[in-house]
């Protein structure tokens, strides 16, 4: 059996080596390392794929979030609501900009922002909501948009984990994750669903004025060379990364489907295990069969995350490692309990779901190259230990 990895970037690369190497060589021969043609070609290709008017490439997904918030003109003291159960980057940039993060609980089935908790957290100072499309599935955007509209709030989608996923509205309209709110952000970190071979990120919007503002912010606040209208940052996607991404973008849908195939295998294998809750796929698409169907494309499984309900999650983590099966706890500490983000305003009773999830969740190997022999071994090892 091929060695099991959490993410197998090497096997994926070997299959596209010729194309990627040729693109990188082209960049090397052109010496257009910054702002070269590949950056613009990738930007245009991604705009078309996402069906969004503007893609603004930048250096990484964390910058993308920060720049989005700067572009919307959020100011110190403005409250920004986001989920307690996510990667720290989301709350980090809120803090860096001296905005006030307001963390709220998540839903136990999708792990995404809880709509009732979100409603309760709104105050006159609230300016924006940052739904995170955790593990590859959109938050309940229909509800988020309705709340944002009622209270006149911006919606910034942290789409670092769900690029390629569709979101289907109740009326059947479909939009790509990240293109639903005022602005969306993503990361091209190597292990993300569309990963480059270094750091990269992008911001998406359909708003022409905002796009213009963002393009200046990523480039030192310049709208005309050497004229700095606003305080900006230096955040660029370099040409080599753009070349890699341009080669990989046409494969994104097949990558998502490969991930879904692995998820289906896992789901079937764990279906009758009383101590395991498999991921909930929550789509409003009329034709969604619920069992990770490809038609509605609503989950792209950045992670495949189980809940272990018999109290043996930590033992399972070690048992899998002992059997050569990498696995991870995303996330072991809720943001509200992190030293950097503690706040007297929070009550533990506001985070009952997150507090439970951190004890129950475990993420299994998930990538585009898992084969049936590996999946069988992983699921058998889990089922033999947890029952
Ligand atoms: C990875 C990630 C980010 C940050 O992306 P980087 O490119 O590593 O800066 C932000 N939010 C979420 C939810 C992520 O998973």
Residue 121, both tokens:
């957290």
Contact 166, 177 (CB under 8 A): yes
H helix intervals, the chain: 9-30, 37-50, 61-71, 89-96, 115-121, 141-151, 208-217, 239-248, 252-270, 313-322, 352-360, 372-385
The per-residue pLDDT of the chain, averaged, comes to: 96
What average pLDDT does this structure show over 88-103?
Answer: 96
Q: Is the pLDDT of residue 105 over 80?
A: yes
Nearest to 268 by CA among 379, 369, 361, 362: 379
Nearest to 307 by CA among 131, 162, 111: 111
Q: Is the pLDDT of residue 289 over 80?
A: no
Tens of pLDDT, residues 192-242? 999 999 999 999 999 999 999 999 999 999 999 999 999 999 999 999 999
Nearest to 199 by CA among 349, 344, 331, 89: 89
Q: Specify the CATH architecture of the domain 9-249.
A: 3-Layer(aba) Sandwich (3.40)
Expressed in angstroms and rounded, the spacing between residue 157 Cα and the centre of ligand 1 is 12
Confirm or reject: Cβ of 187 under 6 Å from ligand 1. Answer: yes
Q: Is the pLDDT of residue 318 over 90?
A: yes
Q: Is the pLDDT of residue 284 over 80?
A: no
Q: Is the pLDDT of residue 43 over 80?
A: yes
Tens of pLDDT, residues 4-39? 999 999 999 999 999 999 999 999 999 999 999 999
Q: Is the pLDDT of residue 329 over 90?
A: yes
Residue 282 has a pLDDT of 78
Residue 110 has a pLDDT of 94
Q: Is the pLDDT of residue 290 over 80?
A: no
Residue 80 has a pLDDT of 98
Q: How confident is the model at residue 85 (pLDDT cuts 50, 70, 90)?
A: very high
Expressed in angstroms and rounded, the spacing between residue 87 Cα and the centre of ligand 1 is 7
Q: State how far the Cα of 331 lies from the Cα of 88, in Å rounded to an integer.
A: 10
Nearest to 285 by CA among 206, 193, 172: 172
Instruction: Tell me which fold the domain 251-385 belongs to.
Output: 3.90.1150
The length of the chain is: 387
Find how far residue 294's CA is from the centre of its chain: 19
Tens of pLDDT, residues 253-266? 999 999 999 999 99
Pocket test for ligand 1, best of 187, 192, 300 (most atoms within 8 A of CB): 187
Residue 283 has a pLDDT of 72
What average pLDDT does this structure show over 166-187?
Answer: 96
Residue 211 has a pLDDT of 98
Residue 295 has a pLDDT of 79
Task: List the Cα angle 21/23/24 in 5-degree steps.
Answer: 65
Residue 236 to residues 160, 204, 231: CA-CA distances in angstroms?
17, 15, 16
Q: Is the pLDDT of residue 45 over 80?
A: yes
Residue 208, both tokens:
């022409």
Residue 296 has a pLDDT of 81
Expressed in angstroms and rounded, the spacing between residue 88 Cα and the centre of ligand 1 is 8
User: Which residues lie below 8 Å from residue 236, measured CB to CB, with a gap of 6+?
Assistant: 34, 35, 39, 57, 58, 59, 218, 219
Tens of pLDDT, residues 129-145? 999 999 999 999 999 99
Phi, psi of 16 (to 5 degrees): -120, 15
Confirm or reject: Cβ of 87 under 6 Å from ligand 1. Answer: yes
Expressed in angstroms and rounded, the spacing between residue 159 Cα and the centre of ligand 1 is 8
Residue 357, both tokens:
């999830």
Pocket test for ligand 1, best of 64, 82, 161 (most atoms within 8 A of CB): 161
Ligand 1 atom, smallest distance to 133 CA: 13
Residue 89 to residues 41, 166, 350: CA-CA distances in angstroms?
28, 23, 21
Q: How confident is the model at residue 333 (pLDDT cuts 50, 70, 90)?
A: very high
Residue 45, both tokens:
């290709």
Nearest to 112 by CA among 181, 159, 169, 50: 159
DSSP SS3 for 380: helix
Residue 38 has a pLDDT of 96
The residue contributing the CA closest to ligand 1 atom 14 is 160
What residue segments make up the domains of the chain, in order of their start?
9-249, 251-385
Expressed in angstroms and rounded, the spacing between residue 1 Cα and the centre of ligand 1 is 32
What average pLDDT does this structure show over 162-179?
Answer: 95
Q: How confident is the model at residue 69 (pLDDT cuts 50, 70, 90)?
A: very high
Q: How many CA atoms lie less than 13 Å away from 115 in the CB half-sphere?
A: 12
Sign of torsion over alpha carbons 195, 197, 200, 205: negative
Helix (H) or strand (E) holding 187, with range, is strand 183-187
Q: How confident is the model at residue 288 (pLDDT cuts 50, 70, 90)?
A: confident
The pTM (predicted TM-score) of the whole model is 0.97
Q: State how far the Cα of 28 lies from the Cα of 227, in Å rounded to an integer.
A: 31
Contact 376, 370 (CB under 8 A): no
């Amino acid at each position: 059996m091929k060695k099991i990895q959490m993410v197998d970037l090497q096997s994926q690369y070997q299959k596209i080596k010729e194309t990627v190497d040729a693109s990188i060589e082209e960049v090397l021969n052109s010496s257009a390392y910054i702002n070269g043609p590949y950056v613009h070609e990738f930007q245009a290709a991604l705009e078309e794929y996402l069906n969004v008017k503007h893609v603004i490439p930048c250096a990484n997904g964390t910058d993308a979030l920060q720049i989005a918030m700067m572009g919307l003109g959020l100011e110190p003291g403005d409250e920004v609501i986001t989920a307690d159960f996510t990667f720290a980057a989301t709350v980090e940039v809120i803090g860096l900009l001296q905005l006030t993060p307001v963390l709220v609980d998540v839903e136990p089935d999708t792990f995404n922002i809880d709509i009732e908790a979100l409603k309760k957290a709104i105050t006159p100072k609230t300016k924006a909501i940052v739904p995170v499309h955790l593990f590859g599935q959109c938050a309940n955007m229909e509800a988020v948009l309705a709340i944002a509209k009622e209270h006149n709030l911006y919606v910034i989608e942290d789409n670092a984990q769900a690029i390629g996923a569709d979101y289907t509205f109740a009326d059947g309209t479909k939009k790509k994750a990240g293109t639903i709110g005022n602005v969306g952000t993503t990361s091209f970190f190597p292990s993300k669903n569309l990963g480059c071979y270094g750091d990269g990120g992008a911001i998406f919007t359909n708003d022409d004025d905002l796009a213009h503002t963002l393009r200046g912010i990523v480039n030192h606040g310049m709208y005309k060379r050497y004229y700095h209208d606003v305080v900006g940052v230096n955040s660029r996607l370099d040409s080599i990364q753009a070349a890699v991404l341009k080669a990989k973008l046409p494969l994104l849908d097949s990558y998502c489907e490969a991930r879904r195939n692995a998820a289906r295998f896992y789901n079937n294998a764990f279906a009758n295990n009383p101590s395991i809750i498999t991921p909930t796929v929550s789509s409003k698409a009329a034709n969604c069969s619920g069992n990770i169907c490809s038609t509605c494309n609503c989950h792209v499984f950045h992670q495949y995350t189980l809940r272990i309900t018999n109290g043996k999650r930590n033992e399972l983590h070690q048992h899998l490692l002992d059997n050569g099966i990498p696995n991870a706890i995303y996330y072991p500490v809720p943001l509200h309990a992190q030293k950097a983000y503690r706040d007297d305003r929070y009550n533990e009773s506001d985070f009952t779901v997150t507090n439970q999830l951190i004890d129950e969740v475990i993420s299994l190997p998930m990538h585009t190259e898992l084969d049936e022999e590996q999946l069988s071994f992983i699921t058998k090892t889990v089922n033999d230990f947890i029952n």
